[in-house]
Amino acid sequence: MSVTAESQVAVSVRRYACDGCQTKITYHGRGRPRRWCEACAEKQRAYREANRAEIAEKQRAYYEANRAEIAEKKRAYREVNRAEIAEKQRAYYEVNRAEIAEKQRAYREANRAEIAEKQRAYYEANRAEIAEKKRAYREVNRAEIAEKQRAYYEVNRAEIAEKQRAYREVNKAPSTPRRERRPICTGCGEKLSRQTEDGLCGFCRKGIPA
């Protein structure tokens, strides 16, 4: 026997008691069932607004007292729902890609100095480990890295050459001054190691012919 649409609606509709005042709430089978009626929900909203600071302080105190237990529950939840969580994150990122990128840019601009300082501190504390990871990565991916470098060079050949030329111009070594001409003996014309007062070499001064 076929089930009519009216009977399907009737099956999905049910009534249950409000957690606060026990007033009957009608659930039509769409979405998550409400725990409170509208009046109780409004009272709770008003209470939260009036006691925001007190509620926040209680939450902080509870978290501090149960930090390890909360962390363990989070880890267990992530392990059980790893695939679902990853899928939700991908979906959210795809929908909000531009907004996320803009927020990241704004944060980096506002905290540029702090981020740089943290990076320097991390690098100093983990210098050896970072170097080892880099070496291991290069060894495993040597061929892929070389291929990417070749491809980048081919695409950007002209730009790279221009940068190299500009760098050489800025960092050109000062030209070595030409060696000064050695003085010549006025008697025999031989080159002297240094200029003498009379302009003669030792032989000419002593009268010895060259």
Give tens-digit pLDDT for 138-176.
Answer: 999 999 999 999 999 999 999 999 999 898 888 876 665
For 100, residues 6+ apart whose C-beta sits below 8 A from its C-beta are 93
| Widest pairwise Cα distance in the chain | 143
Per DSSP, the three-state class of 46 is: helix
Rounded average pLDDT over 81-95: 95
* Structure-block tokens of residue 83: 């695939």
Give the whole-number percent of the chain exceeding pLDDT 90.
Answer: 58
DSSP β-bridge partners for residue 25: 16
The pLDDT, as a whole number, for residue 7 is 43
| pLDDT at residue 209 in the model | 63
Place of tokens 């100093």: 124
Angle at 144 between CA 140 and CA 147, to 5 degrees: 150
| Average pLDDT over the chain, rounded to an integer | 87
Asked if pLDDT for residue 29 goes beyond 80, the answer is no
Q: What sign results for the dihedral spanned by CA atoms 133, 135, 140, 142?
A: positive
β-partners of residue 15 are 26
Show me where the domains of the chain are located: 10-50, 126-166
Strand partners, 191: 184
148: tokens are 């990417």
Strands 14-17 and 24-27 turn out to be: antiparallel
Contacts of 29 (CB under 8 A, 6+ apart): 12, 13, 14
Question: How does pLDDT run across 102-144, given as a tens digit for each residue?
Answer: 999 999 999 999 999 999 999 999 999 999 999 999 999 999 9
